[in-house]
Amino acid sequence: MRVARRLWTGVVMGIVLTVLAVSATAGFQAPAPAPASPTPPAPPAPADLSAFAPRSAVAALDALSRRFDQRAAMDLVVFMDQFWRNAGNAGFNQSIDRIKARLEASGFVARPAGPADGPSLWVEQSGKAPGWDYTVGTLALVADANGPDQVLLSRQQQRVALCINSFSTPDGGVVAPIVDVGAGASPADYDGKDIKGSVVVGDAGTGRLWQMAVVQRGAIGVVSPSMADYTRPGSTTADQAKPRREWDVLQWGSIPYDEGRRAFGFKATPKAVAQIRDRLARGPARVRVEIASSFAQAPIRALVAEIPGAVKPDERVVLVAHVQEPGANDNASGCATLQELARAILQGIREKKIAPPARTLTFLWGDEIRVSRQWTTDHPVEAKQVRYMFSLDMTGEDVTKTGGSFLIEKAPDPSAAWDRPSDPHTEWGNRPVKADTLKGTLLNDVFLAICQRRARGTNWRVRTNPYEGGSDHSVFLGAGVPSLLAWHFVDWFYHASLDRPDKTSPAEMTHVGVSIAATALALAGATTADAEDVVRLLEGAAVARLALEAKQGSALVAAAADKTAARATEAAVMAAWTKWYSEALRSVLALPAGGVTPALDHRVAEAVERIGRH
């Protein structure tokens, strides 16, 4: 026993030293904004827990890697990239059907919704969606002499310039004055300008322009170049160096559905808006707008696939990828990753290289957030037995081109309640989490350890970020299910016209896919030995975290003007982490599919006691 304890103590201290080294390098300074260069600073590296990945997961990683089909994943990305996928439209439905056909060919059997003894899949329908789509969306400056019109925005050039919910123009299009309202965010921007019947260009977002120009002043359409600060024109230094007015990239958007006004909106590149304003500097100008759009008003479809559990089929692990949005990375890559990991799991089981899951694995593809809400509503009995959940969103980014990093957005832990130098939020933004709502879970560290094990000997970079919400994991977290998001950020092409297949990496999809699959299998079929591995993992992670918080807390107190308040905050942070990891350790008791043993119960109690004394 002494030898084992001494070995474990050495391992824990190794984790602690790793964390402290990373913390010292970070210098406990607030992260600087991402620079306009191809290589932004990397998020801080979490403690290396790879040595404690559950044994069953380690064994599964290799088997899954051999069966994850990169080419098929990339084929799906390319296929889905051709559509602007909105729930109910043809591109959304064709994407669902393509995934369904691939899974059927892999051994999932199509069936109506209901119990099944083997791997199966089916399509569920709920309500109706507008199903907006378009084939023509062109905005051109009308020639001021005898020359041709100057096309600035079109489906052929930017693919996603026309805003969702834009209505068709009459045959042949419309010609209208173009009016510049500058920022366009306040009434003063519109004073003295003839807006009625015009197309308005302004820097505000389309929603604000719509309200100010269309609803309040009678414009027929709006044009906005608004985009996030981190959006970039391309992936090279030369692109980055261009003045913003030359950027040929836009972030897609939407306007409110308004059948009465039947107006339109365009998201524009900075280059297109600069051309409009250059023309207006010479005098009044007009634009020609031609739009052919459609509203399907069709049922909302979701694809469900399952591999039933062999021991506890009523309990399940749920994995979700959303289909809608027009991007290759967002989220064709998530759909492709989930497709191929589901197929790889089934193939490994049939070839007896992977043990069948003890708990059911449920895979969902559909409309973001709505698919999770609908599934939990339509399947209340099954929803109550969900033990863990994974959301796959933007899982395939080529990090050298997008500027991003693979991130595990953790189930809420104390880093989501207090801003910490070691755990910065992403540029996407954060949603405040109250400390008294936190509930410890084994999920974060188990998935991190398995991802880090996969990353050994590769160039794959694994980072974490605090909970921020905004995707399907939020729905399951709201129901009390430990859930996390696998994604990439910061992404220079997030929601942008340049989110195309050339920014997607088959290798990245493989890394993420096999790591999620191995983790899902480990959680679905954990043995007592796996649970003991998780206890060791969590205790080591807890000791490392508490050491990190003590060190960075001292630095924060030293730098604070109000040291009394700072000390109180640090005491609350330490107490929260101790409680969170105590709860995470106790959650291990529900992990073994065969039930808890007295020995495991004793191991957990000892670990909780040690953490409490730390």
Q: What does the pLDDT look like over 88-146, one tens digit per residue?
A: 999 999 999 999 999 999 999 998 766 678 999 999 999 999 999 999 999 999 997 77
**DSSP category for residue 76:** H
Determine the average pLDDT of the residues in 522-526.
Answer: 96
Confidence of residue 233 (pLDDT cuts 50, 70, 90): confident
Confidence of residue 563 (pLDDT cuts 50, 70, 90): very high
User: CB of 182 within 8 A of CB of 194?
Assistant: no
pLDDT at 11 over 60: no
Confidence of residue 1 (pLDDT cuts 50, 70, 90): very low
Determine the average pLDDT of the residues in 57-79.
Answer: 97
Q: In this predicted structure, what is the pLDDT of residue 240?
A: 75
| Distance, CA of 596 to CA of 88 (rounded, Å) | 46
Confidence of residue 42 (pLDDT cuts 50, 70, 90): low
Q: In this predicted structure, what is the pLDDT of residue 228?
A: 92
Q: In this predicted structure, what is the pLDDT of residue 41?
A: 58
Q: In this predicted structure, what is the pLDDT of residue 234?
A: 77
User: CB of 546 within 8 A of CB of 612?
Assistant: no
What is the pTM for the complete model shown? 0.92
Which residues lie below 8 Å from residue 117, measured CB to CB, with a gap of 6+? Answer: 308
User: CB of 428 within 8 A of CB of 487?
Assistant: no
The string of pLDDT tens digits covering residues 414-447 is 999 999 999 999 998 887 899 999 999 999 999 9
Q: Domains plus CATH for the chain?
A: 41-129+298-529 (3.40.630.10), 132-295 (3.50.30.30)
Beta bridge partners of 139: 153, 289
**DSSP category for residue 327:** B
Reply yes or no: is the peptide bond before residue 331 cis, omega within 30 of 0: yes
| Distance, CA of 316 to CA of 351 (rounded, Å) | 23
Pairing status of strand 132-141 against strand 405-409:
unpaired
Confidence of residue 239 (pLDDT cuts 50, 70, 90): confident
Written as six digits, the tokens of 604 are 């957990």
Beta bridge partners of 365: 303, 321
User: CB of 410 within 8 A of CB of 46?
Assistant: no
Least confident of 104-118, 154-168, 270-284, 513-527: 104-118
The string of pLDDT tens digits covering residues 272-292 is 999 999 999 999 999 999 999
Determine the average pLDDT of the residues in 451-470.
Answer: 95
Mean pLDDT across the chain: 91
The string of pLDDT tens digits covering residues 359-373 is 999 999 999 999 999
Beta bridge partners of 488: 406
pLDDT at 299 over 80: yes
Q: In this predicted structure, what is the pLDDT of residue 431?
A: 79
User: CB of 128 within 8 A of CB of 298?
Assistant: yes
Which among 158, 133, 328, 163 has a CA at the least distance from the CA of 253?
Answer: 163
User: 586, exposed or middle or buried, with CB in 10 Å at 0-12, 13-18, 19+?
Assistant: middle
| Distance, CA of 53 to CA of 272 (rounded, Å) | 51
Confidence of residue 235 (pLDDT cuts 50, 70, 90): low
Written as six digits, the tokens of 34 are 């991402």
pLDDT at 6 over 70: no
The string of pLDDT tens digits covering residues 176-216 is 999 999 999 999 999 999 999 999 999 999 999 999 999 99
| Distance, CA of 46 to CA of 50 (rounded, Å) | 11
Q: In this predicted structure, what is the pLDDT of residue 614?
A: 74
Q: In this predicted structure, what is the pLDDT of residue 115?
A: 64
pLDDT at 35 over 50: no
Beta bridge partners of 463: 407
| Distance, CA of 56 to CA of 67 (rounded, Å) | 17
Put the strands of the sheet holding 286-295 in their side by side order.
Answer: 150-153, 132-141, 286-295, 174-180, 199-201, 221-224, 264-267
Max mean pLDDT range (116-125, 225-234, 319-328): 319-328
Helix residue ranges per DSSP H, 439-524: 443-455, 472-478, 506-524
Written as six digits, the tokens of 526 are 């954990």
* Torsion 103-104-108-112 (CA) sign: positive
User: 34, exposed or middle or buried, with CB in 10 Å at 0-12, 13-18, 19+?
Assistant: middle
Which residues lie below 8 Å from residue 211, measured CB to CB, with a gap of 6+? Answer: none
pLDDT at 392 over 60: yes
70-81 helix and 332-350 helix, angle to the nearest 10 degrees: 150
Determine the average pLDDT of the residues in 249-264.
Answer: 96
Least confident of 28-37, 186-195, 442-451, 500-509: 28-37
pLDDT at 270 over 60: yes
| Distance, CA of 365 to CA of 76 (rounded, Å) | 13
| Distance, CA of 337 to CA of 290 (rounded, Å) | 37
Determine the average pLDDT of the residues in 606-614.
Answer: 92
pLDDT at 7 over 50: no
DSSP 526-570: --HHHHHHHHHHHHHHHHHHHHHHHHHHHHHHHH-SSHHHHHHHH
| Beta-carbon-side half-sphere exposure of residue 586 (alpha carbons within 13 Å) | 12
Q: In this predicted structure, what is the pLDDT of residue 266?
A: 98
